[in-house]
Amino acid sequence: MEYAGLPAQTVPRRAEWSWARGPRLAIALFSFVIAGGTLGYVLIEDWGPWDAFFMTVTTVTTVGYREVHPLSFAGQLFTVALILGGVGTAFYTATLIATVIVEGGLHGRFEQRRFNRMLDQLKDHFILCGYGRIGSIVAEELHRQGVPFIVLERSAERLKSALDRGWLGLEADASREDVLTRAGIGRARGLLAAVGTDAENVYTVLTARVMRPDLFIIARVESDDAESKLRRAGADRVVSPYQIGANHIVQTALRPAVVDFVRLATSSEFLDLSMEQVKVGHRSSYSGKSLMDAGIRQRFGVIIIGIKHAGGEMEFNPAPEDVLRSGDELVVLGRPESVKALEEEAAE
């Protein structure tokens, strides 16, 4: 299994092996020369280990301060052989190590470690499966709204375009359990299945649902008959870009002002107005109170458009007498800071 979270990881396996083998071989040869030279002076000149080591190092590195002790004729011959064999080895080792540092070998390893740490620290994020036409737009919007996510894409070329934006990504099959584990599915907020075909989406959704029964999953669908399959596989929401696009065209033609309002309320580009969902926590002070008694509009200046009850039913334009329960989700419209304050208080 190969992951590609950084551009450096797209290097072929054979090239990676040659880069790793060269410096290791050079260091091994250099260590052998130092050990052999030290042993040679000990045996030929009967020097102590430190004097023999010092003489070997100064000879091989061409520093050549002075001879530690006067050399015999055999010692001189050995020194000549050590210079001829050892100096070349020392230069070869230094050249390879410098090349690895200059051309990014160490930098790539540091980047890989940093990438792994970022993956391990990722939480409350979305796993975006697929970075095609739909996936790239989804990633852009998630980034714009400051939502953490990671891209899973099998195409190295598509993944590179995501990595160039500074986003996290893995070059891998999103339907594999080990890939989803590496992407932090256990800590994820949700999964967005937007890979190339309906069959791949079905398998991805099924794998994710088995691994995380409580995970919120949204799947893209192309054909009508695949929608039921995706739902049976475990998708909480199934979205058809073609159907949504057609509906949007019709609504824009018939009700352009309404469409403009909804776009402004839901777009991250318009910062003065925000439409969000606010969940009533299990220990919230709002639980058991009516909307009038809670005084949400008076205190926060937001409009409650609807309430999605814990049972799943949606109530639009709720009456002031409607009672809130823990687990309910309020669809509210207001300034971002007001919505944020309401969200924090409703969760307490």
The 3-state secondary structure of the chain reads CCCCCCHHHHCCHHHHHHHHHHHHHHHHHHHHHHHHHHHHHHHHHCCCHHHHHHHHHHHHCCCCCCCCCCCCHHHHHHHHHHHHHHHHHHHHHHHHHHHHHHCCHHHHHHHHHHHHHHHHHCCCCEEEECCCHHHHHHHHHHHHCCCCEEEEECCHHHHHHHHHCCCEEEECCCCCHHHHHHCCHHHCCEEEECCCCHHHHHHHHHHHHHHCCCCEEEEECCCCHHHHHHHHHCCCEEECHHHHHHHHHHHHHHCHHHHHHHHHHHCCCCCCCEEEEEECCCCCCCCCCEHHHHCHHHHHCCEEEEEECCCCCEEECCCCCCECCCCCEEEEEECHHHHHHHHHHHHC
Looking at the chain, the domain(s) classified CATH 3.40.50.720 span 123-244
- What's the burial of 281, exposed, middle or buried (CB within 10 Å: 0-12/13-18/19+)? middle
pLDDT attached to residue 247: 87
- What's the burial of 69, exposed, middle or buried (CB within 10 Å: 0-12/13-18/19+)? middle
pLDDT attached to residue 12: 40
Looking at the chain, the domain(s) classified CATH 3.30.70.1450 span 272-347
Structural fold of domain 123-244: Rossmann fold (3.40.50)
CA angle, 251 then 256 then 268, to 5°: 95
Number of other CB atoms surrounding residue 168 within 10 Å: 21
Looking at the chain, the domain(s) classified CATH 1.10.287.70 span 7-105
pLDDT attached to residue 101: 66
The tens digit of pLDDT for each residue in 147-162 reads 999 999 999 999 999 9
Residue type, 115: F
**The CATH number of domain 7-105 is 1.10.287.70:** yes
pLDDT attached to residue 148: 93
190-193: strand order across its sheet: 168-171, 149-153, 126-129, 190-193, 216-220, 237-239
pLDDT attached to residue 91: 78
User: What's the CATH number of domain 272-347, 2.50.20.10, 3.30.1230.10, 3.30.540.10, 3.30.70.1450?
Assistant: 3.30.70.1450
Low-confidence ranges of the chain (pLDDT < 70): 1-23, 64-66, 100-111, 265-272
